[in-house]
Amino acid sequence: MTKKEKIEFVINTLNNLYPEIPIPLDHTDPYTLLIAVLLSAQSTDVRVNQITPLLFAKADNPYDMVKLTVEEIRDIIRPVGLSPMKSKGIHGLSHILINKHNGEVPQTFEDLEELPAVGHKTASVVLSQAFGIPAFAVDTHIHRLMYRWGFTNGKNVVQTEKDAKRLFPKEIWNDLHLQIIWYGREYSPARAWDLDKDIITKTIGRKTVINDYHKSKKK
């Protein structure tokens, strides 16, 4: 297959598997999405979705959030991990949203990445899912699959994002990054990987990845 044919195969396969794309993190508006994505760092979406209703019952907007203390926020979000850092980030960014953005979540990378505990990936998710602005958030699943498929050298997520944006049409970035995440979880996980179920990697995958997989199964 040519690189163009591989790209088309990935797009078509993912569209067939995920014609309707579930949103991983429960939220009701840009602010609750921002908080949910922040909480998801080094945690799972399932765990975050269990905790956010408890937090948002007390504060689902920056004005109510700043009424809570950092300690109160930390006590609620403790199960998602990294609660000291995340609670300070949530409290701090809520103050900034009120003082600098009239309580609204900004719609630029520059403004979002100035917020405490908000990195490029979090900003990308918020821009794409809350505002429909083309972005390509790269998480561990996308980083892994882009390497397995031979679309990036896999050295870092920054390069993976550049390669993804270069290879795939801009108008499908927002849907595609979610489709790849779901595919990575269901068909091409890091552990307990079954190549026979992973039709994309089996069809177009990097030869070294496929060879390493078969070697590991022979041990």
pLDDT digits (tens, 9 = 90+) for 180-199: 999 999 999 999 999 999 99
Q: pTM of whole model > 0.75?
A: yes
Q: Which range marks the domain in which residue 151 is found?
A: 3-20+137-218
Alpha carbons 40 and 173: distance in angstroms, whole number: 21
60 catalytic per annotation: no
Specify whether 45 is located in the same domain as 11: no
Domain stop point among 80, 99, 131: 131
Q: Answer whether residue 202 is part of any domain.
A: yes
**Element housing 211 (H / E):** helix 207-218
Domain stop point among 91, 109, 131: 131
Specify whether 167 is located in the same domain as 206: yes
Q: Answer whether residue 25 is part of any domain.
A: no
Instruction: Identify the pLDDT of residue 155.
Output: 85
The catalytically annotated residue of 121, 175, 207, 215 is: 121
218 catalytic per annotation: no
Instruction: Identify the pLDDT of residue 218.
Output: 83
Tell me what the mean pLDDT of segment 117-121 comes to. 94
Q: Answer whether residue 157 is part of any domain.
A: yes
The catalytically annotated residue of 6, 64, 75, 139 is: 139
Domain stop point among 105, 131, 157: 131
Specify whether 158 is located in the same domain as 201: yes
Alpha carbons 49 and 67: distance in angstroms, whole number: 22
b (16+ CB within 10 A) / e for 39-73:
bbbebebeebbebbeebbeebbbbeebbebeeebb
Here the tokens at position 57 are 């019952």
CATH value at residue 104: 1.10.340.30
Specify the number of domains making up the chain: 2
CATH value at residue 209: 1.10.1670.10
* Position 154 pLDDT exceeds 80: no
